[in-house]
Structure 1
Amino acid sequence: MIPGTEDELMGLVWTTLGPDLQDVSIDVQSKLHPDLVRALENGSIDGAFVRQGDICPEWSTQTIRTEELIAILPRGHRLLKKRRLSPTDLSAERIIAVAGSIAPALRETIDAFLSQNGPPETTPPLEADGMLSIFSLVAATGLCSLVPSHFARMLPKGMATRRLTTFDSSRRDLVLAYADSRVSPIMSRLAAHIGKTTS
């Protein structure tokens, strides 16, 4: 699973499979998207919680939830006066964004939001290698960032959030990805449960 999702996703796995896990060895790994995709491809893991768009279409997926982008800003930032932020509001800001090499689908979503009124005329985003780096950079620089909404639960003191104006491309699905050709009984049960709870 990708870092920052462990609390919710481990609860989901445990609730679904708890009775079946007593005699099963489970190796939970928090890794960046590229590492999870490689591990899926080489068969060293059975399944991965990743964002739709970071995996090839041939993988089977079950949607866990749809993530919306939010803005995180340091307390006292001028944009906190607004209830929702648009690309125009952010056009005069330098944004901190996750690097495309670390989370391609998320970065694509951020770039799509920022450029919906045409290519941004701002300085390119300051890139970070993960959520902890983003929080540190927001605190150190006073800049704002766009992140998936579930990270609001982990927000350090001294930061606040704002929702973004409605835009379909500012959402991305978090999915369980696995290969049908080598699905284990446990993975099959997990996928079936997720399919029932999200349909």
Structure 2
Amino acid sequence: MERPELDLRQLHAFVVLAEELHFGRAAERLGVAQPPFSQQIRRLEERVGHPLFDRAARELTAVGAQLLPAARRALEEVADGLEAARRAGRGEAGRLRVGFAASLALTVVPDLIAAFGRARPAVRVEMHEMTTTRQLAALRDEVIDVGLVREVEQEPGLELRPLRAEEVVAVLPSGHRLAARRRIEVADLAAEPFVFFPREHGPGFHDRLLGLARAAGFEPRMAQRAVEWQTVAGLVAAGLGVSLAPAAAGMVRPAGVVYRRLAGAPTTSVALAWRADTRDPLVDAFATLAATLAATLAPPAPRGRP
């Protein structure tokens, strides 16, 4: 079906004429001379193929009455669309797709998303739980707009904004010989089997944790591997090994697991990442809010006492 090509100025003139029922008053209301106004109506009638206004009776014809509701809807939709576009351009509306590492779900993410929702209530935020590696791929493929990641190095095409440093802690079975201590040395874990996450899911963070062990003079013996921190903790609780984790992992503690601070309080970095070529004002607004909010949040620390 062929779509009619209608001039919005003609539709506007027609709606005003329908409300005034007088060419002179309608032209005056629009701030134009009557002859150009009459020409707009005449062109619209030529496009429709029938008269829209009975000039003698000063009323709409049946055809005009039929067109009027559609003309009003069209003008309203265009006005609404323009305003929506302007709001999107100001970063006040639209859609923002946010990736996040699972370990941040109970720390940075809730406060940040809640604050952004209050600041930008018309924005639809879509959350995507992903490992850091998957987030970087999703950013490159434009599947997400921003990502909350761990231990990511600057790379071409990527913008990074550091948000916070988070403490690295030891994850131990509750009956472990070291569980009674408040703070332990990384070297104390040298003889232990380790439960670790695969490097491909977060190379930077994996290497950071491995580097702590190597700096303490040993190469960790990998006994088990798991992607999710809940699974890591479950395997530790089962006595299959120990682990190193971000302190945020201790926000959810299964029975049989304790988290202990490490001597020297080593940390891991949390950052916001987005594509360098993005021009989306929502990304700018989110990044600014994330940096401001992160400065006010207390870093997570392991809970509980021996």
TM-score range, shorter chain: 0.7 to 0.9
Aligned-pair CA distance for 1:12 = 0.8
- Any idea what SS the aligned residue of 1:176 has? strand
Which residue of 106, 124, 132 maps to 1:33? Answer: 132
Deviations along 1:28-65, one digit per CA (max 9) or x if unpaired, are 10012221111101112110001132662642222222
Q: Which amino acid is 2:227 matched to?
A: D
Q: Which amino acid is 1:69 matched to?
A: V
Q: Which amino acid is 1:173 matched to?
A: S
Q: Which amino acid is 2:199 matched to?
A: G
TM-score (norm 2): 0.58
Moved more, 8-17 or 61-70: 8-17
Alignment of 1:5-44 (within 5 A): 5-8=104-107, 9-22=109-122, 24-44=123-143
Q: 1:88 to 1:19 in 2, by over 3 A?
A: closer
Which residue of 175, 200, 224 maps to 1:126? Answer: 224
Q: Which amino acid is 1:6 matched to?
A: A
Distance in 2 (CA, whole Å) between partners of 1:81 and 1:151 is: 20
2:175 is matched with 76
The answer on 1:140 being equivalent to 2:230 is no
Q: Is the 8 A contact 1:13 1:190 kept in 2?
A: no
Aligned residues: 195
- Any idea what SS the aligned residue of 1:78 has? coil
Q: Which amino acid is 1:45 matched to?
A: I
Q: Which amino acid is 2:244 matched to?
A: L
The answer on 1:66 being equivalent to 2:165 is yes
Deviations along 1:151-173, one digit per CA (max 9) or x if unpaired, are 11111122111111116xx3221
1:191 is matched with 287
Aligned-pair CA distance for 1:189 = 0.8
Distance in 2 (CA, whole Å) between partners of 1:54 and 1:130 is: 22
- Any idea what SS the aligned residue of 2:166 has? strand
- Any idea what SS the aligned residue of 2:128 has? coil
Distance in 2 (CA, whole Å) between partners of 1:15 and 1:156 is: 29
1:92 is matched with 191
1:175 is matched with 271
Which residue of 191, 196, 216 maps to 1:117? Answer: 216
2:255 is matched with 157
- Any idea what SS the aligned residue of 1:190 has? helix
Show structure 1 runs of 5+ residues with no match.
Answer: none
- Any idea what SS the aligned residue of 1:141 has? coil
- The percentage of aligned residue pairs carrying the same residue is 23
Distance in 2 (CA, whole Å) between partners of 1:42 and 1:55 is: 18
Q: 1:34 to 1:43 in 2, by over 3 A?
A: same
Q: Which amino acid is 1:107 matched to?
A: H
Aligned-pair CA distance for 1:198 = 4.9
Deviations along 1:93-116, one digit per CA (max 9) or x if unpaired, are 111111111121221111111111
Structure (1 or 2) with the larger CA radius of gyration: 2
Deviations along 1:81-140, one digit per CA (max 9) or x if unpaired, are 3322223201111111111111212211111111113343x5335322221220221122
Q: Is the 8 A contact 1:33 1:54 kept in 2?
A: no
1:101 is matched with 200
Q: Is the 8 A contact 1:77 1:142 kept in 2?
A: no
- Any idea what SS the aligned residue of 1:181 has? coil
Greater relative CO (CA pairs within 8 A, separation 6+): 1
Aligned-pair CA distance for 1:180 = 3.3
For the aligned residue pairs, the C-alpha RMSD in angstroms reads: 2.1
